[in-house]
Amino acid sequence: MTYIKIFDTTLRDGEQSPGVNLSKDEKLKIAKQLEKLGVDIIEAGFPVSSEEDFEAVKQIAKEIKGPIICGLARAVKEDIDICWEAIKYSKKPRIHTFIATSKIHMDEKLKRSPQEVIELVREMVAYAKSLCNDVEFSLEDASRTERDFMCKIIRVAIEFGATTINIPDTVGYSQPDEFKDTIKYIFDNLGDIISKNKVTISCHCHNDLGNAVANSLAAIKAGVTQVECTINGIGERAGNASLEEIVMNLITRKSYFNVETCIDISKIFETSRMVSDIAGMVVQPNKAIVGKNAFSHESGIHQDGIIKNRLTYEIINPKDVGWVGESIVIGRHSGKRAVSEFLSKSGYNFCDEDIVKITSSIKGLVDKNIVSKEDIIGIANKLKLNESKTKLI
């Protein structure tokens, strides 16, 4: 079974979410949780961006012992030097350097010719390699890069020491089949040099069109063995591929993907909540895996199925990911089976006729989207009180 490395960039790309600004101590706290979660690589930050970020990466490199600790650097000597100074304290340091390779980026942003970009890749990858044995190279905007030029760049990066080649869908432009074809094209044309040098091919997908997870999974099917992602899918603009969604796809559909990871899925929910609280980014209620509604059921048909057999409407056991919430939510769409189950667990024993009355009363609470436990108990107690008065009369 193929092993997929989980590269977490919550502390680098995730922190680049508008409005998020993590302190050194907050970054370290999250890094320790990511270590418990079992990620293979932590991209701790972009050391050249600020003194604060440099110190945060340095502290993480010193204190986190399990995962590879990675720092980001542009293909610029100063960036690479500062990155190395921050990560060199790690037992397993990695320099991650990058340059844009799409025509629009080379023409409009870099103002450099393709040949100049190739020379920079050659020079800066070799320089990073002289400092650190583990070097990752990314082709920024790879999904909009002409494929033959992309392969030329990858070949140069490998020849000059890159141990991981990352293929980013930087602006979330690609479609799953298209991205899968891109990865396949790389293996078809560079398979020999990739295999000979034992190079890891990675992907890094953004969510501008909502395809980040789908593109990442398509890339895994095409052969990548490292996937870059963030907790809760946070990141620039619409965010990055969500770690929890990727991992739970790989586990839930294990026979389809035939891969494995070292993620401790029981830590997923607590990690999600920690990142949400520290970053100040609320998790949307219907967010897959970690949203408060992810395993909640209000529909009577669904509730009946869940009560009879969880697998009817849940393909993941909420307990497996450490999810905390109410599975059966009583509301206007609920049926008598769920109401009866709730009342039974609350110590009440009603006949079918009374359950029908209580369910009808709940549906009559038209001003409430979700009916509270207190509402249901109140209705039940009122019915019992009325029955007692009737018996007295």
- Can you tell me the distance from the alpha carbon of 219 to that of 202, in angstroms, rounded to the nearest whole number? 8
pLDDT digits (tens, 9 = 90+) for 211-251: 999 999 999 999 999 999 999 999 999 999 999 999 999 99
The CA distance from 291 to 272, in Å, is 9
pLDDT the model gives residue 303: 81
pLDDT digits (tens, 9 = 90+) for 123-170: 999 999 999 999 999 999 999 999 999 999 999 999 999 999 999 999
* 271, containing H or E segment: helix 268-279
Looking at the chain, the domain(s) classified CATH 3.20.20.70 span: 2-279
| Conformational region of residue 377, where left means phi above 0, alpha means psi within -120 to 50, and beta covers everything else | alpha
Quote the pLDDT of residue 341: 82
Contact of 73 with 83, CB cutoff 8 Å:
yes
What's the CATH superfamily of 2-279? Answer: Aldolase class I (3.20.20.70)
- Tell me how crowded residue 206 is: count the other CB atoms within 10 A of its CB: 25
> At 281, phi and psi to the nearest 5?
-115, 110
Confidence of residue 390 (pLDDT cuts 50, 70, 90): low
Percent of the chain residues topping a pLDDT of 70: 96
Query: What whole-number distance in Å separates Cα of residue 57 and Cα of residue 301?
Result: 50
Assign 254 a pLDDT band (cuts: 50, 70, 90).
very high
**Rounded Cα gap, residues 137 and 164, in angstroms:** 6
| pLDDT level of residue 346 (50, 70, 90 thresholds) | confident
Instruction: Tell me the pLDDT band of 368, cut-offs 50, 70 and 90.
Output: low
Give CA separation, 116 vs 76, 78, 106, 119, 152, in Å: 13, 18, 10, 5, 13
**What per-residue confidence (pLDDT) applies to 329?**
78
Mean pLDDT computed over 87-101: 98
What is the pLDDT at residue 163? 98
Identify which of 7, 52, 10 has the alpha carbon closest to the alpha carbon of residue 230: 10
Contacts of 191 (CB under 8 A, 6+ apart): none
End-to-end, the C-alpha distance of the chain in Å comes to 73
Q: For residue 45, which phi and psi values (nearest 5 degrees)?
A: 160, -170
Residue 393's pLDDT band (cuts 50, 70, 90)? very low
Given a contact cutoff of 8 angstroms between Cβ atoms, the answer to whether 237 and 13 are in contact is: no
Q: What's the one-letter identity of residue 93? A: P
- For the chain, give the mean pLDDT: 93
The helix/strand/coil state of 86 is helix
> What is the model's pLDDT at position 118?
98
Choose the weakest-confidence range: 20-34, 67-81, 141-155, 376-390: 376-390
Kindly report, residue by residue over 265-296, the tens digit of the pLDDT. Answer: 999 999 999 999 999 999 999 999 999 999 98
